[in-house]
Structure 1
Amino acid sequence: MQRNRNKLLNTVKREVLQLRSQSLHNAVIINLVRQQPPQQLKRSWDLEVKVGKRPIFQIPPKVNIMQVFDRMKGKLLLLGNPGGGKTTTLLELARRLVIRTEKDTNTPIPVLLDLSKWKNHNQEISDWLVEQLKFKYNIPKKVTREWLENQQLLPLIDGLDRVSPELSEHYLESINKFSIDFQPKHLVVCSSFTTYKNCHNKLRVNAAVLLQPLTNSQIKDYLFVARSRELWNYIEEEPELLNLAKTPLMLSMMTLAYEEILIAAWRRITSKEGREKYLLNAYIRYQLGGETNYKWYSRNQEPLPEQTRRWLAWLAKQMAAENIQEFRIEKLQSSWLDANGEVQTYQLIINLISVLFWGFTFGFIFTLVWKLKAGLISGAIGGLIGGRFGLPGVKNLVLRIVLFSNGHIPWNYRRFLNYASSRLLLQRIGDRYQFIHHLLYKHFTEM
């Protein structure tokens, strides 16, 4: 049992470190403020806490999320706007919890869970959690069930705002039932303000932590520390741009992509959605044009920016169609093929290879054992069998050949996905990939 505990804790630790190192806030720090490690920086946004029917009170800047967690006995709801720092705050809490758990073997193990990955809605949340620990961390299901029953897991749940309103209600009800049935010592759930406010069901937790939009002075301080005084001078008198900068995600993108932004053109955009889209495009241009410490391609062999955009847009659309947030190369689906010819080409190649392989194999064996005539007959029979049952292991290869030949993916797909991760367009967690933020994921689906 201790071996599995250490295995899970080490894997969660790596996951948290990977996600934090691939965040936009961390990119700002590395690129612009190299002398100050990111973990020593204070959070940019204010935290407010709501406990029951008592008045909301603000948390002083020196108080971190771990202290709030302890004060509220480890049962929290994190609420904020999209791009408002919820996941960043959750990862900071996870980092501190991992450190504590390494020192105290009696402390529940924190595990990161995403509700948008819960596909079987008739399933109990405890069963889904068991499956997730098997899938993500390769922990035996029996072990996870024992941990649940003994209150040795600390679920950190994100993704409530990435499911439909009907499912949000169902998931909140399921989490409450889980709390009653298993009585976990600690539980943290993340959601957007709007999603949670519109739900009839409410979580049974000790407090809600509200992540507030950045104030003008916080924006100014952030940009000055990040050596972006000129950007502040441009936006301080522009209410619409300043309002956009109140979202931490957008502020980080502004700071990174400033060289790609034409302020005069940006000012003329009248809608909030248009300004966000302009900024996201500027961020993509910046990330594809700058230097990177990771050399996944030889000099002058990197994909062209247009190719990268096209390949990522295709991936985002397929993921959206399948309603998935993470992607693994091994999980490429034939359903991702275009019905206009690609499916037929794929099936034809599969059948041809199978017929040739099984026909040759049967024919060769029977020719050696009996005679040529028997071999030819057996070869024909083998070909028919191959056409009917196919050839194990060849389908994924053929699928990738068809997708490559139609321009949907590059030949070395894993290298490209790692390259896109180094460009902070994707995040890589082990052998899984996801877009660095849901807003960027949605933007690519609309390209």
Structure 2
Amino acid sequence: MRSTSSKVLWVVVVANVLTALIAIVTNVATGVLPDAWQPYLWIAWPVLAALVLSGIPLVIYLRRIDAGHPAVTDDRAEFSRKAMLAQVRTMWVNGVLTQSLYQQTLVELGLEERPGFLRRPWDMMLETADQRPRPVEPGTRLVDVVERYRGLLMLGAPGAGKTTMLLTLLEDLLDVATRDKTAPIPVVFPLANWSSDSKPLEEWFVEELCGPLYGLSPELARSWIANDRVLPLLDGLDEVVLDKRLACAQAIEAFHRTHRLLPLVVASRIADYNALGLRFSLGTALLIQPLTQTQVQDYLGQFGEPMAGLREALAGEPALWDLLRTPFLLNVAVRAYHGLPAEDVATEGPTQQRQSRLIAAYVERAVRRKPHGPRFAPSDVVRWLAYCARWMGKNLELFFFVESVNSNWLPKRLRRRVITVTALPASVLLGGSAGLLLHLFIDTWTGIVLGLLATIGFGLGLSTGHGGEVAHASGGNRRALLMEYLGEWAFLGVFGALGLGFAGGAFGALVGTIVGVVGVITGDGSFFAAVIDKGVAGLLIGAVLGVLLPMVQTWGGDRQALRNRPSGAGLRDAVWLCGTSFLVVCVPVTAILGVFYGPDGAVTGVVFGGTAAYLFGGRGLATYWLTRRVLVHGGITPSRPLAFLDFAVAHTLMLRVGGGYMFAHRLLLEHFASLQPEDVPKHYVHEGLSVIDLRPETLLARTVDDARTATPGDAVQAVTYTGSVLPATVWAPSAMKVAETLRARVPATLEPSLYAGGHTPQSRFYETALRAAADVLRMVIAAQHDDLSLVASFQLGDLLTTPVPGVFDSAYDWRDPYMDDAVASLRAITTRGDAALARRAVEMLDKLVITPPADQG
């Protein structure tokens, strides 16, 4: 909206200036001028015509701006409201709720009101009332709770049924909005799509409403949000990327403060909400309770004889009740053991083993159900999902995209072949461009010889690197993607041409000196001519190579942003980038070289454009396509990936979120990642994507053991992943060990002369390790562990106040992003009432050059 207003303002200013100029020129053209100006009077009429003609596009542009943002009429708003209600019902109620894994779990979940999870505006003025948990009366409808409190925070453990209850609430709210035209339209906003750390929630709502999920026009979306015509149901606060989760929660709180009369519903896992260190000021908070034995018995009794085996197994093995405490595992058990006798129900072994067998039985039943669409063999389904889970587990990703397939899926030998094959066209195009340019600038033989050498050199270099990935526009803006590639290439190309040109010129001058000396001795040439000739030739050769070298750089994109776009959008972006970059580079280069060098210059321009097209987008596509062919031949991936992923969604093994896919539950991801299918070629078993144990306890223990040798970023990612699953009492002690190990990887004293102001590989690694340690400490502070969060606050403060030569000497201080968290946690300690801790916290605040609170002295 702001950018549109700015455009209109500028157009109006320019139009006024043009009007004034037209008036002046008209007076000049028709007025009486001095005799000396009379010979030039004819110029005024062409200038007047040019000014008038230039004003026409401005008028047209103003009309387009006005047409692009028309007023929302009452009839259009009414029509759009009905269409939106129908679309939301079709998408979320009919498409998700009735098809979800919980569709048969009709047991009423127990709810408990938790006032302690919220911050109310009057808490600062009045003594807080009773904050103890209070059970909610059975039969209470959530729609009545939302109407009464104007805000609801829904919390629960993983698999407790938060999304199902949210969608059930949505169904009731849709009924209310259908009957009452003044009621706001309930809309589900998956917070997994949140990707900003500073954007107001209103702007994000507009973007989501205008995106592929709902497809509203911008002016209608802005009008609805500005006038509180949309009731937001925010699902999955725990699914926001960890480093942006607090910013998302702050944006939600800021939105609610300015729209307090509008109901707002937020759903999150309880552990992730507690880890935020922030309390919403919503009307009430409800915690979904674990299922009781009575609820499970009543639910199983509804199925009659088909569940007799499971009921008998539960009676003989009471420990089985622990598996059925959440709607997810209860429904899994119903589907896995439907119609089976008691002896076939997994009752032996520890809880973890029984749970694994339960998941395996559910998967076996799920893949053998007859679908309405395409059919796949059960063994193929298990094998393909196993490799999807391995990739997600290796990268600790929650979402899978069709663009995720790359050469790292292949065994080493096949990976090297794919990279070599895709490097061949790149080396030929690069060498051909270099040879043709040198042919134009120097001579034919120089172009041929150096072009062949460049082809061989580029081929060897590209064959030992990475094959590249599919380039995609992070925010869906393809122009920005093109400008990113062209901008990076232009920036690096200028410095490359200057650097290699200077080096080539110096080398050429040296060669010219030798040639000149020989010429002087033999009397066959001029010394200065040889030096200048060879120096210029070397400069041109270096400049050409300096321009071409940056083309081999690959820039990817934020893969998580693909969740907001249709499946396969990244592949289409790469095709568009390939074609557009060819035109953008080829047309001007061909025109310029064609004018100066004729047909040879035109051919050079076409080859140069083809080089840019292949290296900017083509090689990533070629690598993706060739890798897919090899994987399909080996039986690792399906030939129709989208059809297969939709099959997995239809069989409630995966969920579709925008353009990405995720497993229906973390337990399914862990199950498939640990599988080793039997019908897999041997070279895939020992190489490529290997089996991985993603159980949170095992993953965290492995991270603690590997923290001394692992990449700091991988350690932080593993700690982040497990922190959203494990309770703070289990997770925080191990996370503290990881932080201590990461900090210990940086020596206490460094030799300043070795680290040159923080720009060497050693100092960059140390800075990365210190950042990683600070990230982990910040997460421990947010976990609100009784003891370790205090320890982490002091350790973070100590980390930020201990200078390390060679790491802190750079212009940008890496500590800045952590200062606010350290100060906030230390100030909180000063209010705990413990005098000794308060004194330590004040001392640490003084070290951070922060003035402590006045009441703390």
- Using the size of structure 1 for normalisation, the TM-score is 0.78
Aligned to 1:309: 382
Aligned to 2:461: none
1:409 correspondence with 2:487: no
Q: Counterpart amino acid of 1:440? A: L
Residue 167 to residue 395, structure 1, CA distance change in 2 (3 Å): closer
Residue 165 to residue 375, structure 1, CA distance change in 2 (3 Å): closer
Q: Counterpart amino acid of 1:115? A: L
Match of 1:295 among 348, 352, 373: 373
C-alpha displacement at 1:118, in angstroms? 1.7
Equivalent pair of 1:157/1:188 in contact (CA under 8 Å): yes
Q: Counterpart amino acid of 1:46? A: G
> How many angstroms apart in 2 are the aligned matches of 1:198 and 1:24?
28
> How many angstroms apart in 2 are the aligned matches of 1:8 and 1:132?
13
Q: Deviations over 1:64-90 (max 9, x none)?
A: 3223322333x0011111111111100
> How many angstroms apart in 2 are the aligned matches of 1:108 and 1:212?
30
3-state DSSP of counterpart to 2:175: helix
C-alpha displacement at 1:166, in angstroms? 5.7
Match of 2:664 among 406, 419, 436: 436
C-alpha displacement at 1:307, in angstroms? 2.2
Q: Deviations over 1:392-445 (max 9, x none)?
A: 799658624522422443112222122222222123478664432344245444
Aligned to 1:258: 337
Match of 2:646 among 418, 424, 439: 418
3-state DSSP of counterpart to 2:232: strand
Name the % identity.
26
Residue 110 to residue 326, structure 1, CA distance change in 2 (3 Å): farther
Equivalent pair of 1:165/1:199 in contact (CA under 8 Å): no
Residue 170 to residue 261, structure 1, CA distance change in 2 (3 Å): farther
Match of 2:108 among 36, 40, 44: 44
Bigger mean CA offset, 57-66 vs 314-323: 314-323
> How many angstroms apart in 1 are the aligned matches of 2:652 and 2:383?
16
Bigger mean CA offset, 10-19 vs 308-317: 308-317
Bigger mean CA offset, 307-316 vs 14-23: 307-316
Match of 1:78 among 154, 175, 179: 154
> How many angstroms apart in 2 are the aligned matches of 1:384 and 1:348?
20
3-state DSSP of counterpart to 1:157: strand
C-alpha displacement at 1:95, in angstroms? 1.4
> How many angstroms apart in 2 are the aligned matches of 1:269 and 1:441?
22
> How many angstroms apart in 2 are the aligned matches of 1:339 and 1:159?
36
Q: Counterpart amino acid of 1:175? A: I
> How many angstroms apart in 1 are the aligned matches of 2:420 and 2:88?
40
> How many angstroms apart in 2 are the aligned matches of 1:380 and 1:343?
31
Match of 2:359 among 271, 277, 280: 280
C-alpha displacement at 1:387, in angstroms? 2.9
Aligned to 1:235: 314
C-alpha displacement at 1:184, in angstroms? 5.8
Equivalent pair of 2:193/2:240 in contact (CA under 8 Å): no
> How many angstroms apart in 2 are the aligned matches of 1:319 and 1:12?
30
Aligned to 1:35: none
Q: Counterpart amino acid of 1:48? A: E
Equivalent pair of 2:384/2:637 in contact (CA under 8 Å): yes
Aligned to 1:18: 95
C-alpha displacement at 1:109, in angstroms? 1.7
3-state DSSP of counterpart to 2:281: coil
Equivalent pair of 2:410/2:627 in contact (CA under 8 Å): no
Aligned to 1:370: none
> How many angstroms apart in 2 are the aligned matches of 1:376 and 1:181?
66
Q: Deviations over 1:349-399 (max 9, x none)?
A: 5974997x99xxx9xxx9xxxxxxx99996676345323313979965862
Q: Counterpart amino acid of 1:423? A: H
Q: Which of structures 1 and 2 has the bigger CA Rg?
A: 2
Residue 137 to residue 326, structure 1, CA distance change in 2 (3 Å): farther
1:9 correspondence with 2:234: no
Equivalent pair of 2:233/2:265 in contact (CA under 8 Å): yes
Equivalent pair of 2:418/2:627 in contact (CA under 8 Å): yes
Equivalent pair of 1:151/1:183 in contact (CA under 8 Å): no
3-state DSSP of counterpart to 1:112: strand
- Choose between structure 1 and 2 for higher RCO, CA contacts under 8 A separated by at least 6 residues: 1
> How many angstroms apart in 2 are the aligned matches of 1:394 and 1:5?
46
Equivalent pair of 1:18/1:429 in contact (CA under 8 Å): no
> How many angstroms apart in 1 are the aligned matches of 2:230 and 2:408?
37
Which consecutive unaligned segments of at least 5 residues does structure 1 have?
30-40, 367-373
Q: Deviations over 1:78-121 (max 9, x none)?
A: 11111111111001011111222223232222222222332232
Aligned length: 414
3-state DSSP of counterpart to 1:111: strand
More strand by share: 1
Equivalent pair of 1:254/1:279 in contact (CA under 8 Å): yes
> How many angstroms apart in 1 are the aligned matches of 2:395 and 2:207?
19
C-alpha displacement at 1:267, in angstroms? 3.1
Equivalent pair of 2:102/2:331 in contact (CA under 8 Å): yes
Equivalent pair of 2:406/2:627 in contact (CA under 8 Å): no
C-alpha displacement at 1:233, in angstroms? 1.4
Q: Counterpart amino acid of 2:627? A: V
3-state DSSP of counterpart to 1:113: strand
Residue 134 to residue 233, structure 1, CA distance change in 2 (3 Å): same
Aligned to 1:173: 250
Q: Counterpart amino acid of 1:216? A: Q
Equivalent pair of 1:337/1:343 in contact (CA under 8 Å): no
> How many angstroms apart in 2 are the aligned matches of 1:23 and 1:77?
22
Bigger mean CA offset, 221-230 vs 85-94: 221-230
> How many angstroms apart in 1 are the aligned matches of 2:203 and 2:261?
15
C-alpha displacement at 1:235, in angstroms? 1.4
- Using the size of structure 2 for normalisation, the TM-score is 0.43
Which consecutive unaligned segments of at least 5 residues does structure 2 have?
1-71, 117-128, 430-577, 580-585, 591-597, 676-857
Aligned to 2:611: 387
Equivalent pair of 1:19/1:427 in contact (CA under 8 Å): no
Bigger mean CA offset, 45-54 vs 277-286: 45-54
3-state DSSP of counterpart to 1:267: coil
More helix by share: 2
Aligned to 1:34: none
RMSD value, Cα: 3.8
Aligned to 1:369: none
C-alpha displacement at 1:246, in angstroms? 1.4
Aligned to 1:371: none
Aligned to 1:98: 174
3-state DSSP of counterpart to 2:139: coil
